[in-house]
Structure 1
Amino acid sequence: MRAIDLFAGAGGFSTGARMAGVDVVWAANHWQAAVDVHAANHPETAHACQDLQQADWRGVPAHDLLMASPACQGHANARGKEKPHHDALRSTAWAVVSACEFHRPQAALVENVPEFTKWALFPAWCAAMSALGYAVAPHLIDSADHGVPQHRVRLFLVCTQGKHPLQLTFEPRTHVGADSVIQFASGKWSPVIKPGRSTNTLARVAAGRARFGRRFVMPYYGSGSGLTGRCLSRPLGTVTTVDRWALVDGDHMRMLTAAENRGAMGFPDSYTLPTNHRQAVHMLGNAVCPPVARDVINALKESA
């Protein structure tokens, strides 16, 4: 099976496809830094850095499977107040329709946040795919159910040629705790009690200590996991595009490292990331968890 990866980012979809024995022959993204990371980890794949809404699909290799992760920022609740540029971000999903119209692959997998189905144009998008002969089957999948040490619920649209939507089934996997990716000897630690530490942070630390003891993770920025964080034997909460999770060890704490975020997303330890921490976390927070992509693709292959 041959696949292409649209809005490929750091390469989570491509990595999962490779785990499933699929050849990713072409990948594209509008951000050169992301293309460089993808190319470093997938040198056998042809790459393009371009706006996919302006793509000439004649130059894209033939393929059996189209994988795509259109921009989610215009759909996610975390986007904050609605802004004019969100219309442009939501419209990236139409590149999938354009590519499928030209190449007519046997299947397309589209990943996004669950709110994608609430998009005003989602019915029109599904109608366009239907006009091309594809039945669209939405699947809500939590990465923790696929052995990823992170709770991350995402929408996967399984689009297959035919009249009837294809509902995939998966064997449940045991949940894996955040402790599987934590490296206590790494990172830049600082005292919990230090000048400038917010009272909200100190309150979360105190509550976490009372519930979990000396070692636990907690949301440092924003909300999530209530006020107490979560124990290390539990999967991490959703990894975002900016630092969110802090690790507490006794009287010291630090943000998770890029390597720990990589592990929480299910990427191999050998996967090359940008040396810039902020850039690495941004790419990881936008990525597809490779083990989830692997399981979705394997289930799709088995149903064929």
Structure 2
Amino acid sequence: MARAGLGPGWRCLFANDFDPRKAAAYRANWGGAEMRVGDIHDLTAGDLPAAGPAGAACDLAWASFPCQDLSLAGGGAGLGGTRSGAFWGFWSLMAGLRDDGRPPRLLVLENVGGALTARGGADFEALCGALERLGYAFGALTLDAVHFLPQSRPRVFFVAAREEAAAGLHGPGPQAWTVSDGLRRAQARLPGSLARHWRWWRLPEPGPRSRSLADILQDSPNDAAWHAPEQTSRLLDLMTPAHRAKVAAAQAAGRRVVGTLYRRTRPDGSGARAQRAEVRFDGVAGCLRTASGGSSRQTILLVEGERIRSRLLSAREAARLMGLPDSYQLPAGYTDAYHLAGDGLAVPVVAHLREHLLEPLLGLGRPMQPAIAAE
């Protein structure tokens, strides 16, 4: 999805993923010559091709590394965990390219908001320190896909550049729409040795979002049949009074209202925990997750007066929520397709970064050079 967002002006020289199912989806859409399946820790800089004659450096290396050890749902291992620790494999590759005299001109790291707070902020400082040791100036942005797509999906993007940015690409302070309070606090805790290399990158705010949740729905998806009435009733029974009131308001609206629902485990008021169904009717889907069980899959709730129906979000609808076109080939199985979407990048967010920051950092008007993508 990084490749989709970068667009046809970029050429990918190398891609890597540990998951053969994701690699198969990549090959189905892009071809497979540059895809290497395996653990990033097993790669060396020698595996990464040069961008041109005489060992030319590539323009960009992109790393969307696993988030589980950084997320609230993870075990708190942070960058020392077996999954999110894949970042250090990527870092070793970049250090190898530097030592070969061909460091990428730009680096992008993408992860969840937990990257700002994991281990009390120590992992954020470690990421910044790692970029500084590679010889980059760096900054971060917190971008929510909701500005572009009907999905609430905040993510952190570190952008690092080896060359000084042109005027206007960074400023003396943060922008409101690209910097969360968590990022402000994390940056304020950086020691002076790292703060000197920090850049507050600037992006134009996008225009109004053109699509709502209702616009991406399929009429009758073959992989997400409507639930039996009893299943819908069970979901309604899992709601607290506040969420049942949302449903009642949707029923009273006098029109077709589309919402999304997740099942979550919440305190039940007696010291125990209970499963709850939480619904939203704001025209936006909740953040897609990687599907590992029924509660991790998002449910569509369709309210038409007294009639209420429910079903799982289809795989194609999940792909649309990530900004993928319907021509994008998804894995055949529902779980694999939904997992691919839930673990991916919002394509228009990448495109916005590419157009307004990455390409200007490389120099507007010149032909784009090859990129390396590592996911």
* TM-score bracket for the superposition, by shorter chain length: 0.7 to 0.9
> How far apart are the structure 2 equivalents of 1:73 and 1:284?
16
Question: CA, structure 1 residues 173+86, in 2 after alignment: closer, same or farther (shift >3 Å)?
Answer: farther
Structure 1 unaligned segments of length 5 or more: list them: 1-11
Question: CA, structure 1 residues 84+72, in 2 after alignment: closer, same or farther (shift >3 Å)?
Answer: closer
Match of 1:95 among 89, 96, 100: 89
1:64 aligns with 59
2:180 aligns with none
Runs in 1 of length 4+ with deviation above 6 angstroms? 83-86, 202-205
> How far apart are the structure 1 equivalents of 2:18 and 2:49?
18
Question: CA, structure 1 residues 172+83, in 2 after alignment: closer, same or farther (shift >3 Å)?
Answer: closer
The residue type paired with residue 188 of structure 1 is A
Match runs of 1:119-158 below 5 Å: 119=118, 120-145=122-147, 147-158=148-159
- Alignment pair present for 1:43 and 2:81: no
Match runs of 1:192-211 below 5 Å: 192-194=229-231, 197-198=234-235, 199-201=237-239, 206-211=244-249
Q: Which one has the largest radius of gyration?
A: 2
Q: Is the 8 A contact 1:222 1:244 kept in 2?
A: no
The residue type paired with residue 317 of structure 2 is E
> How far apart are the structure 2 equivalents of 1:50 and 1:116?
24
Question: CA, structure 1 residues 264+197, in 2 after alignment: closer, same or farther (shift >3 Å)?
Answer: same
> How far apart are the structure 2 equivalents of 1:166 and 1:33?
37
Q: Is the 8 A contact 2:213 2:258 kept in 1?
A: no
User: Percent same amino acid at aligned positions?
Assistant: 24
- Alignment pair present for 1:76 and 2:125: no
SS of the equivalent of 2:14 reads strand
Return the offset for 1:168. Answer: 3.0
> How far apart are the structure 2 equivalents of 1:24 and 1:134?
22
Return the offset for 1:73. Answer: 0.3
1:287 aligns with 344
> How far apart are the structure 2 equivalents of 1:251 and 1:302?
49
2:332 aligns with 275
SS of the equivalent of 2:328 reads coil
Return the offset for 1:194. Answer: 4.5
Match of 1:298 among 338, 344, 355: 355
Q: Is the 8 A contact 2:149 2:322 kept in 1?
A: yes
1:167 aligns with 201
SS of the equivalent of 2:338 reads helix
Q: Is the 8 A contact 1:241 1:281 kept in 2?
A: yes
Question: Please, what TM-score do these two structures have when normalized by structure 2?
Answer: 0.70
Q: Is the 8 A contact 1:27 1:45 kept in 2?
A: no
> How far apart are the structure 1 equivalents of 2:354 and 2:232?
50
Q: Is the 8 A contact 1:70 1:111 kept in 2?
A: yes
Return the offset for 1:164. Answer: 5.7
> How far apart are the structure 1 equivalents of 2:80 and 2:333?
27
- Alignment pair present for 1:117 and 2:116: yes
Compare 62-71 and 239-248 and name the one that shifted more.
Answer: 239-248
- CA deviation vs aligned residue, 1:185-224 (integer Å, no higher than 9, x gap): 3230123334982521596874343122353223232279
Q: How many residues align?
A: 288
- CA deviation vs aligned residue, 1:127-157 (integer Å, no higher than 9, x gap): 2221221112010001111x22211100000
Question: CA, structure 1 residues 205+139, in 2 after alignment: closer, same or farther (shift >3 Å)?
Answer: closer
SS of the equivalent of 2:137 reads strand
Match of 2:279 among 229, 234, 237: 229
Q: Is the 8 A contact 1:29 1:49 kept in 2?
A: yes
Q: Is the 8 A contact 1:208 1:216 kept in 2?
A: no
The residue type paired with residue 17 of structure 2 is N
> How far apart are the structure 2 equivalents of 1:204 and 1:193?
21
- Alignment pair present for 1:34 and 2:22: yes
> How far apart are the structure 2 equivalents of 1:230 and 1:256?
14
The residue type paired with residue 104 of structure 2 is P
- Alignment pair present for 1:220 and 2:209: no
Q: Is the 8 A contact 2:78 2:123 kept in 1?
A: no
Structure 2 unaligned segments of length 5 or more: list them: 51-57, 98-102, 164-196, 267-275, 292-296, 363-375
- CA deviation vs aligned residue, 1:158-192 (integer Å, no higher than 9, x gap): 01114562603123231231112111332301233
Question: Please, what TM-score do these two structures have when normalized by structure 1?
Answer: 0.85
Question: CA, structure 1 residues 227+192, in 2 after alignment: closer, same or farther (shift >3 Å)?
Answer: same
Return the offset for 1:286. Answer: 0.7
- CA deviation vs aligned residue, 1:4-47 (integer Å, no higher than 9, x gap): xxxxxxxx11111126x211221110111110101111117511
